[in-house]
Amino acid sequence: MPELPEVETVKLGLSKNLETLGRIEQVKLFRKDLRFEFPKKMKNALEGQKILSISRRAKYLVFETQDYVWLCHLGMTGAWRQETGDHQKQPHDHFRVSFESGRSWVYRDPRRFGYMDLIKKGSSIVWFEHLGPEPLESSFSSEYLFQKSRNKKAPIKNFIMDQKVVVGVGNIYASEALYMARVKPSKASHRLTRKQAELLVSSIKMVLKKALKSGGSSIRDYKNADAEMGYFQQSLKVYDRAGKPCFSCKKPIKKITQAGRSTFYCSNCQV
Instruction: Give the residue numbers annotated as catalytic, written as ranges.
Output: 2-3, 59, 261
In sequence order, what are the beta bridge partners of 107?
Answer: 80, 95
Number of H helices, E strands in the chain: 6, 10
User: Dihedral sign, CA of 208, 10, 258, 250?
Assistant: negative
239 and 263 Cβ atoms separated by less than 8 Å: no
Q: Where are the beta strands (DSSP E) in 100-239?
A: 103-108, 115-120
Residues 98 and 13: their CA atoms lie apart, in Å, by: 16
Burial-class residue 84 by CB neighbours within 10 Å (0-12, 13-18, 19+): exposed
